[in-house]
Amino acid sequence: MVKSLKIITYPNPNLRLKGRPLTQEEIISPETKQFVNELSKKMLKEDGLGLAATQVDRQFRVFVINTPDGVQEFINPEITYRSWLKEKGEEGCLSVPGIFDYVKRHRKIKIKYFNLLGEQKILKARKMLARVIQHEYDHLDGILFIDKLAKK
Ligand code: CO
């Protein structure tokens, strides 16, 4: 039985820890499936657009996103393309409650990742979805959106 997940908030120093990649064996394990399921439920319950493992104090390279097509898990993600063009947009974070501010993000990205079946996938994302993915991706490296606020 896994302990129920709790979101840690700024300035908890553990938010600065990096996630480690899962092994191929771990990716397809029942434990990972259960963890991703709990992480998804937590994100939906808290009305977040995304949630990273590092935000619930688990140092794994895993995050979930609430996409227009449902919840999608990204395991061992790697952003393989970033458009030259950036766009400013407002962001918030479940780990930084009460703060909403503007961040410049790449307008388009391409991301390579594994799903729970251990399949490697590639997703092209733009605008809002690209923004959410970049925000969650940063969490895996201990980076928060408040570290990179855009000049107004
Ligand atoms: Co966040």
Can you spell out the DSSP letters for 91-132? Answer: EEETTEEEEEEEEEEESEEEEEEE-TTS-EEEEEEEHHHHHH
- What is the CA(52)–ligand 1 centre distance, in A? 7
CB 126 within 8 A of CB 85: no
Task: Assess whether 119 carries a catalytic annotation.
Answer: no
pLDDT category of residue 69 using cuts at 50, 70 and 90? confident
As assigned by CATH, the class of the 23-151 domain is alpha beta
pTM of the model: 0.96
CB 50 within 8 A of CB 35: no
- Region 36-52: what's the mean pLDDT? 97
- What is the CA(48)–ligand 1 centre distance, in A? 9
